[in-house]
Amino acid sequence: MIIKNLADAPLAALRGYEKVDKRIVIGPDDGSNEIVLRYFSLGPGGTSPHHSHDFPHLVKIEAGNGVVTDESGLEHPLQKGDYVFVRDNEVHHFTNTGKEPFDFICIVPRRGEA
C-alpha cells in the first residue's frame, strides 16, 4: 500500500499548457501498472490545449470554477464536486473561468501517461 500527500508529488513537465501545474500523485514510479492518478491546477485564465487521445479519462473537480469544451466548441460549466468522463478520441479542453485555481483529479490508463 502506498499513501501520499499531494504536496509530496513533484510537478511534472508540461508543453502546450498555459498557467497549468500537473502532478503525478500515483503512477508507474509507485508500481501502478494499469492506472495513473494525476492532479491538475489551472491558474486564472489557465487552459489545456484542444486535443484528443486514444484513451479515456475520468475527472473529478476539486476546487474552483471552469469549463470543459467539447469538439463542437460547446462549453460545459464545472465546479467542485462535478465529474467528467472523456471518451477515447473525444476532442476536449479544460479552462479556468474563475479568479481562484481550478483544480481537478484526472485518472488515465498507464498508456495515457507514457
**pLDDT tens by residue, 45-104:** 999 989 999 999 999 999 999 999 999 999 999 999 999 999 999 999 999 999 999 999
pTM recorded for the entire structure: 0.93
pLDDT at 80: 97
Strands 18-26 and 35-47: antiparallel
Q: Where are the beta strands (DSSP E) in the chain?
A: 18-26, 35-47, 57-63, 65-70, 75-79, 83-86, 92-96, 102-109
Mean pLDDT of 1-26: 91
Neighbours of 111 (CB within 10 A): 11
pLDDT at 8: 92
pLDDT-derived band at 105 (thresholds 50, 70, 90) equals: very high
Does the structure show a pLDDT above 90 at 6?
Answer: yes
